[in-house]
Structure formats: structure tokens, C-alpha cells
Structure 1
Amino acid sequence: MNSSFFDEAQIEGQVAKIDDEYTVVINRGKIHGVTPGMIFAIYDDETEAVRDPETDESLDVPIEKLRVKVFDVFSKACRAATFQTNSPISNMLKPSARLSRLITGRDRIENEQLRPDERPIGEVVVTVNIGDTAKSVAKGRME
């Protein structure tokens, strides 16, 4: 993914492992400045083509899959859990429904061993892949 889409002051890494349906390991840790409580956005490899209304040029906007919050930090890696989503289904909900969803539940990360017919009804499952870009979120943009 092209890093020019992002603020260079932020920490950028990749998903190194999917621990379970709520937890990922990111290949950035203490030596990179990661601390517990930091928020990382996980991005899709593809971008959304958006037309600039002033110039009519195509703007390639990164597609955010979900956000994870760091709870374990190691020297070169960290473990983070889901707590917020940007999946299309959640974005279609009314703001009050989104808030309720964020308080009462969190999205699951797709696991290759989990068959579609085994997913709980109504649960949003976001596909996260090893190698997906993980970018720290500036404190002012956490919500």
C-alpha cells in the first residue's frame, strides 16, 4: 500500500498474525514507539476511487476495515483487539445504532477455520489478512 496516503509521523506496520477472531499481532512494538492503549486502523489493500470536485481527478482513498486497540506490547510486536469497525454494514446503520453496536459488541475477524454457516446470525465479520497495513491513529482521530 502506498504510504503517501498517510501522515508520516504515525507508526505503520502490518498484521503479522491473526490470534483469534478478535485479536491480531502487528509487527510493531516498543522499539517503534508502540504503547498499550494505542489505536491502529487496519486497511484494505485496495483503495476507493473518489472524484475531486474541484479538479475532477481521481483520488485513491484508503479503505479502512476496522480498528484495534493495543493491549500487549513486546519489543518488536504488539497484540491488539477489535473494538470498532468501518465495515459497510456498520456504516449503513443510524449513528445511534452504530454507537450501540460499539458499546455492546465488536466485530469478529475472519478466521479461515470458521465456515460462513458457523457465524452467529447478524454478526459482522471483517476479513483481515496477514500483511494488511496497520497504521496508528492520531489521538484526535480515534473516534
Structure 2
Amino acid sequence: MTDQSAGRVALVEDDYTLVINRGAEAGVAAGMVFAVYGRTGRVVTDPDTGRELGTIKREKLRVRVFDVQPLFARAHTFVETDDFYGLLRFPFMAEPSEDVVSIDVGDTVELVSTDTVAVRRDTG
């Protein structure tokens, strides 16, 4: 089994859905939450030596897996509210906002939660 904790965006399906290049064969399960990071980050340089110390990654958004195939998984953007529903940790689709986040094929995804709660599927 390969590592499910890191992968890449393989496809941007629509404004709220993306596909990551990790699936059931890598241990990915419905309910897992991944952070999506841009391909480039901010370089941190030591002011005394000029030596590059590393890069700070910029998290673009978080997605929750709802459909797992052997080699890929589909995930929705979501928010957790601070109200009563948030106490129960129900995922809700993110409200459209004026802040546009651009997700690109090849962006890095990293596992942030393995809380694989049952994901409700709409049947109708």
C-alpha cells in the first residue's frame, strides 16, 4: 500500500469538486480531509547568512473525500460551522465568496484528518 497522506490534484471537476491521485489502494477512505497547497511557497531566508531556511506552504482550502475509487478519490470543498451543526461536525458545502481560490492540476494535497465519518450520499 502506498502513502495516502500526500498526493496531487489530478482533475478539477467543477467549482466544488476535485479529484486527487490517491484512492483505496493507497488507503484513502470516504470522510478523510485533505488540505490543498499551491505548488510554490514563500521562501524563508536567514537575514544573517542569506541561507535559504525552507519554504512556507500556503494552504488554499480543505476538501473532504466522498467517493473513493481504487486509484483516485473525489472530494468536495467544505466548511465546518461554529453553530449547533458545527458542534456535531457536519460538513457543509462552502458558501460562494468574493475571495476566489484557484486550484490547479498538480497542486499538492496532504491528509489532515482521518476522521472517516459516514458520508451521506444524495440519492435524488
TM-score w.r.t. structure 1 length? Answer: 0.59
- 2:94 corresponding residue in structure 1: 106
Calculate percent identity across the aligned residue pairs: 42
- 1:137 corresponding residue in structure 2: 112
Match of 2:68 among 63, 70, 73: 73
- Distance in 2 (CA, whole Å) between partners of 1:134 and 1:24 is 11
Instruction: Sort the Cα spacing of 1:28 and 1:10 in 2 relative to 1 into closer, same or farther, 3 A.
Output: closer
- Distance in 1 (CA, whole Å) between partners of 2:75 and 2:31 is 9
- 1:41 corresponding residue in structure 2: 35
Shift of 1:66: 0.6
Unmatched tracts of structure 2, length 5 or more: 87-91, 116-124
Unmatched tracts of structure 1, length 5 or more: 1-8, 85-97, 109-121
- 1:61 corresponding residue in structure 2: 56
SS at match of 1:31: helix
- 2:8 corresponding residue in structure 1: 14
RMSD of Structure 2 on Structure 1 (CA): 3.1
- Distance in 2 (CA, whole Å) between partners of 1:99 and 1:130 is 31
Instruction: Sort the Cα spacing of 1:28 and 1:139 in 2 relative to 1 into closer, same or farther, 3 A.
Output: closer
Q: Which amino acid aligns with 1:21?
A: D
**CA deviations over 1:29-75 (Å, ceiling 9, x no partner):** 0000100000011111111234679x996431111111100000010
**How many residues end up aligned between the 2 structures?**
104
Q: Which amino acid aligns with 2:112?
A: V
Q: Is the 8 A contact 1:52 1:59 kept in 2?
A: no
